[in-house]
Amino acid sequence: MHLSLSILADQFLLNFSYLWLIIIATTIGIIIGAMPGFGAANTIILLLPFTLAVPVDVALIFMVSLFVASHMGGGITSILLNIPGNGGAAATCLDGYPMARKGMGQQALVLSFVSSTVGGMVTACLSIFLLPYISRLAYYMHSVEMVVILLFGITLIASVASDNMLKGLIAGFLGLLIGAIGADHIYSTPRATFGFIELYDGVPLIAVLIGVFAISEALTMMESASVLSDKGRELMKQAGWAETWEGVQMAFARTWHMIWTSLVGLVIGIIPGAGASIAAFVAYQQSRLFSKTPEKYGTGIPEGVIAPEAANNGCSSGDLIPLLVIGVPGGTTAAVMLIVLTYHGVQLGPRLFIQNPGMGYGVFITMMIAYAVMLFTTLPLTRYVSRLVLIPTTVLAPIIIAFTLVGAFAPRGYMFDLWLTLGFGVIGYLCRRTGYNVVAVLIGVILGPMLEANVMRALRISGDDPLVFFSSPVGNGLWLALAFSLMIPSIAKWRRNRAALAAS
Amino acid sequence: MDINLNRRDFLLTVAAATLGIAAAPAILSPAAYAAGDFPDKPMQVLIPTGEGGGVDQAARAFDRIWSKYLGANFEYSYFPGASGQVGYEVFISKREPNAYNILFGNIGPEMIMYATQKVNYKYPEDFVYIGSMDVDDSVIWVSADSKFKTIQDLVEEGKKRQITLSTSRLPHPSTIGVLALAEATGMKVRMIPYGGGGPARSAAITGEVDGCATFLSTSLGLGDQVRFLTVFNNKNIAPSLTNNAPPVNQVFGTKIPPMSGQRAIAIHSKAAKAHPDRVKKLTETMKQVFSDPDYKEVAEKAGTPWEFIQYGDAAACDESAREYIALADRYRSLLTATK
């Protein structure tokens, strides 16, 4: 893979000459990222006539900018309204929304933007200089390793439900059951579809996301006059530029936290088919695990916003690596990019970095510039965007329901999805009213089908030998890490008790 | 220069930009509609697989040229799932049978799916294929650094242990080809479905499985990362693109029928009966695409070598569809969970 400073310099200059395009693409990306039901893939599909008509450099810069911006935009509604714009932003709700409720929505948004930018830039930079090495990760991460990584995420169910373990586990189990609806992963045998063809491909994630989070949140909002507590309302009204600066300081006081959680995202992103949802949940789980104050997670702390946001933006770099290095898209957006690049005659895979290294490495340069642009355009806006929570709930709740139902309908165009979303809205509302954790439900829905697919695949490859899960060195290392991570809370508790005994 | 936008101007600018983006497909596309003539509105293309897949790319390439002759734009919707069943079910039950709604699919895998899964529609009572545009042979390939240099190597190894081959989905011509080869040679093989071509190819390149069984065109972009071992047809139509991989019957003396994909256009049978004039226009304009010099360039840009491009009429499509139903019936127990 030929890399030289002149290639990087050329790409920087090329990208700067298209700065106007990056600004447009990132603006569109942030908007669609913040809207549940709209994503980078369907937006790029919609704009195919444009991307096919313009030169390949322009198309690539536009698509990459839009792609990374959609990841960044997903956190906005997670923080302000407890409504994730996409699966990758679901984990941001856990601490982002409690921060907003306390009147720290502005700081939470700044934390989200800064950690997204740092995460995206660090991983893009690493991708440029370590591409030949990190691209090899895909050669060691197969179904067995994916099973263990997914289990890392699934153990988060126990963490988020720590205040009522039984109810949390029931909610998680419900999520896993919902995730199991649809055709099985090997023989396509329909399960629990009740004859509805709309469910053959599984319960659409958007319907669950919007129903369980947005609709149920809107229904809950109607029970009070404001999203904010009285104290939070006062704080929000007084908020100014100082709060933006405070958010920046909060973020950079946790620079290492941003870096290592973005690396979690990068590694998971490289695995084809993994994606931002897993990255965000696993990073949040790991962040909580290694924290000195894990009990504070979920109450609205900066680390709980930084971890998922840095990870899902770190995942952006990882997502594109399989596409560029071996010519196989790692996700839906990458698959759509493949259409455009193939049409323009770009040969992806190892040859790209020999024949056209500028284009290969240029993707990561575009990412870095897009993140820088986004930071400069979004930071000044946090002061105004965060005031969304000052709108009375009597106005806000109907708007949320109307907008999100459009988002539920948009991806597939089924009326069925609207009813499904409303059904999940009622389920989500009942969960909230009775103390069942809706995040636990969502973790089950998102990670359950992936876990099942990988378990079934690993077993099928091994000839149905369950020992396959302990057959690879990388997998075994991950099992040890998983076991260790599950024991850490107990060890920490035991040490605290012993210290308390010694002190008394 | 001093730019001073007031609120009204700003809102008008935003509205204009939004309309511009929304209208981009119409502005950038060539078709203009004649009132009263068919088609006088955009064609609705339903694709029973995901965005960015082989069918999507082929459909867009074909329709780019077809729109010139048909005089219509094309709008796409994607309904992947259950090996294509979701798309067909939606097409049959939720799309109006008016010849404006067409399905762009792949005869081989989708007729195997039809024969092996419990579907709520019937062929040819509910839909018919009106034409196909290519023949894409099934192949077996391995990673370039694999120890298997020839198909004989793979088969010999398969006699000692179970070989694993990735595939996008079990109901697929390449699966039947591999199962027929295993039956003829005594090779033990297990097909591993990955739910999509991309993950299936990735698994074979990164060494999770021994190799990949798929259609040729979707693997050509992988270049020298892969080594083709065999082609499931009586002749390798693209030897220069496939390191001259031999046809399977030539190597083993077997009589395995050609296992190919044929990307084809389907319409509702009701539409074919109610609107023969529209079907005639669709088929006639479809044929014109193949003699258009621009199509070669567009098809190759979409990843389909010109050697694969081949028009098939409705009768040829029907014959192919019935052949796959028969093949699927023969291998039903291996393609489904039934014993």
Largest CA distance in chain B: 81
pLDDT in tens, B131-151: 999 999 999 999 999 999 999
Give the whole-angstrom CA distance, residue A98 versus residue A85.
17
Nearest residue to A355 (alpha-carbon basis) of A347, A343, A345, A363: A347
Give the side-chain half-sphere CA count within 13 A for B299.
23
Shortest distance between the Cα of A381 and any Cα of chain B, in A, equals: 17
- Closest-CA distance, B158 to chain A, in angstroms, reads 14
Q: Does A336 sit within 8 Å of B302, measured CB to CB?
A: no
Contact B222 A327 (CB under 8 A): yes
3-state helix, strand, coil in chain A (%, to 5): 80, 0, 20
Q: Does B43-135+262-334 carry CATH code 3.20.20.150?
A: no
Residue A194, chain B, CB below 8 Å: the answer is: no
Check CB contact under 8 Å for A461 and B118.
no
Using a CB-CB distance cutoff of 8 angstroms, which residues of chain A are in contact with residue B225? 326-327, 349-350
CA dihedral A220, A221, A224, A229 (to 10 degrees): 110
Residues 209 through 268 of chain B touching chain A, CB cutoff 8 Å: 209, 221-225
pLDDT for res A16? 84
Cα-flanking dihedrals φ and ψ of residue B121, to 5°?
-140, 165
Partners of B264 in the β-ladder: B105, B132
Residues of chain A neighbouring B224 (CB-CB closer than 8 A): 350-351
A143 class by beta-carbon count within 10 Å (0-12 exposed, 13-18 middle, 19+ buried): buried
SS3 of A410-476: the string is CCCCCHHHHHHHHHHHHHHHHHHHHCCCHHHHHHHHHHHHHHHHHHHHHHHHCCCCHHHHHCCHHHH
* Rg, C-alpha atoms of chain A: 22
Q: Which of A316, A306, A307, A322 is nearest to A364 (CA)?
A: A316
> In chain A, whose CA is at the least distance from the CA of B172?
A187
A and B: number of Cβ contacts within 8 A: 150
A343 touches chain B (CB under 8 A): yes
**Contact residues on chain A for B56, CB-CB shorter than 8 A:** 339
Domain with CATH 3.40.190.150 in chain B: 43-135+262-334
Nearest chain B residue to A54 by CA: give it. B28
What would the two tokens of residue A415 be?
């009326």
Is the minimum CB–CB distance between A347 and chain B shorter than 8 Å? Answer: yes
Q: Interhelix angle for A241-252 vs A255-270, to 10°?
A: 70
Report the half-sphere exposure of A71 (CA within 13 A, side-chain side).
36
The interface residues of chain A toward chain B in range 53-92, judged by CB-CB distance below 8 A, are: 53
| Contacts for A22 with CB less than 8 Å, ≥ 6 apart | A15, A61, A65, A366, A369, A370, A373
Look at residue B4 in the predicted model and tell me its pLDDT: 39
Q: What is the pLDDT along chain A (504 residues), one digit of tens a residue?
A: 566 787 788 888 888 888 889 999 999 999 888 887 777 887 887 787 788 888 888 999 999 999 989 888 888 888 988 888 878 888 899 899 899 888 888 999 999 999 999 999 999 999 888 887 877 777 888 899 989 988 988 887 877 766 677 888 898 899 999 999 998 888 878 889 888 888 888 898 888 888 888 888 888 888 876 666 677 677 766 767 788 889 899 999 999 999 999 999 998 888 776 678 888 999 998 898 888 888 888 889 999 999 999 999 999 888 888 888 877 777 778 878 877 887 777 777 777 777 778 888 888 999 999 999 999 888 888 888 877 778 888 888 888 888 888 888 877 778 889 999 999 999 999 998 898 888 888 888 888 988 999 999 999 999 999 999 999 999 999 999 888 877 877 777 788 788 888 887
Can you list the alpha helix ranges (DSSP code H) found in B194-331? 197-205, 248-252, 269-274, 276-289, 293-301, 314-330
Rounded distance between C-alpha atoms, residue A500 and residue A150, angstroms: 36
Architecture of domain B137-252: 3-Layer(aba) Sandwich (3.40)
CB-based contact (8 Å) between B203 and chain A? yes
Which of B145, B205, B206 should one mutate to test binding to chain A, selecting the residue with the greatest count of A CBs within 10 A? B206
Give the Cα separation of A139 and A142 in Å (integer): 7
Question: Could A335 and B222 be called an inter-chain contact, meaning their C-beta atoms sit closer than 8 Å?
Answer: no
The predicted structure's pLDDT at residue A269? 86
Amino acid at site A352: L
Q: With an 8 Å Cβ cutoff, is A458 touching chain B?
A: no
Mark yes or no for CB contact B302/A342 under 8 Å. yes
Q: What is the pLDDT of residue A344?
A: 78
Query: Which residue, among A207, A132, A183, has the nearest Cα to A410 in the 3D structure?
Result: A207
Q: Is A50 on the interface with B (CB under 8 A)?
A: yes
- Contact at 8 Å (CB) between A106 and A382? yes
Residues B301, A342: C-beta atoms closer than 8 Å: yes
Who contacts A269 (Cβ-Cβ below 8 Å, separation ≥6)?
A123, A275, A276, A279, A314, A315, A316, A317, A318, A319, A321, A330
**Spatial CB neighbours of B335, under 8 Å, sequence gap ≥ 6:** A187, B112, B116, B170, B171, B175, B176, B328
Of the partner residues B24, B56, B60, the one whose CB lies closest to the CB of residue A50: B24
How far A108 CA lies from chain B's nearest CA (Å)? 28
Strand partners, B44: B75, B101
pLDDT at A442: 86
- Residue corresponding to tokens 């390939």: B141
Query: CB contact, 8 Å: B207 with chain A?
Result: yes
The boundaries of every CATH 3.40.190.10 domain in chain B are 137-252
Cβ separation B120–A142 shorter than 8 A = no
Distance (Å, whole) CA A81 – CA A90: 12
Of A50, A184, A343, the CB nearest to B302: A343
φ, ψ dihedrals at A463, nearest 5° = 75, 40
**Which residue positions in chain B have pLDDT lower than 50?**
1-30, 339
Return the number of other C-beta atoms located less than 10 Å from residue B223's C-beta: 17
B 106-125 near A (Cβ less than 8 A): 113, 117-118, 120
Nearest CA in chain A to B333: A187
Q: Are B76 and B239 in contact (CB under 8 A)?
A: no
CA distance A220 to chain B (A): 33
Inter-chain residue contact A142 with B203, CB threshold 8 Å: yes
